[in-house]
Amino acid sequence: MHSASEQDTAPFVHAMGRALPPHYASQEQLIAMLRELWATRHFNLERLEELHRAVQVGGRHLALPLEEYPALVTFQQRNDAWIRVATALSEDVVRRALAPAGLRPTDVDHVFFVTVTGIATPSIDARLVNRLGLRDDVKRTPIFGLGCVAGAAGLARAADYLRAFPEHTALVIATELCSLTLQREDLSIPNIIASGLFGDGSACVVLRGARAGQAGPRVVASRSVFYPDTERIMGWDVVDSGFKVVLSAKVPQLVKDHIRGNVDGFLAQHGLKREDVRHWVAHTGGPKVLEAFESALELPTGALGRSWASLREVGNLSSASVLFVLDETLRTAGARPGDWGVVMAMGPGFCAEMVLLRW
């Protein structure tokens, strides 16, 4: 259990921002485009529609206008588009997060940038230094490859840093452009599901150390869990045309098997039980994943309402999704002082990350 003095050193989630690319397509428009694309390949088009409707996504924001995607054939073309759009979107989301907090880019001491949908060296965070006017002594930690878990993991790693530097301010930027990874030649069920589930977007969290400013919930603790021998559950195969999705149907079952014990063990360390948690912030993995969270944790009806709404409105944004849900929680949950919250996400590894918040 954490002592009062340990809680006093816990950093704060000070402010947040989210940004979506301006190009929006409804699920109907996307199904129509993919039907056309895959019609010549003797693929069962009814199955395509069935899988797309099963993910319960109403539509998604896209990095590019729909008509520009057919020209993207090579990995370089996809990745060049990713660098261009990810840089602009990340700049936008940082400005949206800092302004309401009354902070300037020069107030930022450390930038954590997470993504899994493109690669760049210098990384996107480096490209933001000039564009935002960050200080020349800003620390940068780009994190690639954690996938859907990276929003929660980024929050946890930034909080770890701020315990050591309690007077500092850190940003966690999660920018994912999943639409640029779609493999048109891949007619596997995982790729068809991915083409219906994943969307594009960016989120930014402003975290401040205990001595830097006190607003928002504190990040009291975090816990990482790695599940042995699950490397093929989720991830990418890097192929000539880019990132080819690896997505196992076993994900919901893994959640069902493990998440209750993981969450209960994590809460018990802090003298808490599930019923003490008022705010559940779950990654929008998909309907089966959210149902698995609900049943395994025996959550009350509506506990994951914000996750379900985010899934319907924008799809699964990989690492940014859990932060979209956290932002919505901060804005609309009516949290009171003393409330507990748990942020949870899972991703390639296969692994989970849990973050304990206290308002």
In a domain, 30, yes or no: yes
Q: Which pLDDT belongs to residue 325?
A: 98
Q: Which pLDDT belongs to residue 172?
A: 98
Q: Looking at the structure, do residues 173 and 236 belong to the same domain, yes or no?
A: no
Which among 86, 350, 348 is positioned nearest to 235, based on CA atoms? 348
In a domain, 5, yes or no: no
For residue 113, which phi and psi values (nearest 5 degrees)? -115, 120
In a domain, 304, yes or no: yes
Q: Name the pairing type of β-strands 351-358 and 340-347.
A: antiparallel
Helices assigned H by DSSP within 297-335: 305-314, 319-332
For tokens 């002594």, the residue is 137
Q: Which pLDDT belongs to residue 129?
A: 97
Q: Looking at the structure, do residues 200 and 306 belong to the same domain, yes or no?
A: no
3-state secondary structure of 224: strand
What are the percentages of helix, strand and coil residues in the chain, rounded to 5? 45, 25, 30
For 21, which DSSP code?
-
Token pair of 85 as six digits: 């759009």
Q: Looking at the structure, do residues 193 and 57 belong to the same domain, yes or no?
A: yes
Integer Cα distance of 124 and 329 in angstroms? 27
Q: Looking at the structure, do residues 174 and 277 belong to the same domain, yes or no?
A: no
Q: Looking at the structure, do residues 285 and 194 belong to the same domain, yes or no?
A: no
Q: Looking at the structure, do residues 238 and 298 belong to the same domain, yes or no?
A: yes
Integer Cα distance of 147 and 151 in angstroms? 8
Q: Looking at the structure, do residues 274 and 353 belong to the same domain, yes or no?
A: yes
Give the CATH number of the domain where residue 275 resides: 3.40.47.10
> Contact, 26 vs 336, CB < 8 A?
no
* Domain end (from 177, 192, 208): 208
pLDDT along the chain (359 residues), means of 10: 65 97 92 82 75 88 93 94 98 97 96 97 97 98 96 98 97 97 85 88 97 91 95 91 89 92 97 97 94 95 95 95 97 94 95 97
* Domain end (from 174, 208, 242): 208
- Beta bridge pairs of residue 105: none
- With a CB cutoff of 8 Å and minimum separation 6, the contacts of 334 are none
Q: Which pLDDT belongs to residue 6?
A: 59
In a domain, 37, yes or no: yes
Q: Looking at the structure, do residues 353 and 221 belong to the same domain, yes or no?
A: yes
Which among 150, 184, 173 is positioned nearest to 96, based on CA atoms? 173
In a domain, 4, yes or no: no
In a domain, 1, yes or no: no
For residue 256, which phi and psi values (nearest 5 degrees)? -60, -40
Q: Looking at the structure, do residues 223 and 195 belong to the same domain, yes or no?
A: no
Q: Looking at the structure, do residues 181 and 296 belong to the same domain, yes or no?
A: no
Catalytic residues: 148
CA-atom Rg of the chain in angstroms: 20
CA distances for 255 relative to 137, 249, 282, angstroms: 41, 11, 12
Q: Looking at the structure, do residues 313 and 169 belong to the same domain, yes or no?
A: no
Q: Which pLDDT belongs to residue 249?
A: 86
In a domain, 7, yes or no: no
Count of structural domains, the chain: 2
* Domain end (from 191, 208, 225): 208
CA distances for 24 relative to 34, 179, 193, 248, angstroms: 16, 12, 19, 28
For tokens 């000539």, the residue is 240
In a domain, 42, yes or no: yes
Q: Which domain holds residue 32?
A: 12-208
Q: Looking at the structure, do residues 187 and 222 belong to the same domain, yes or no?
A: no
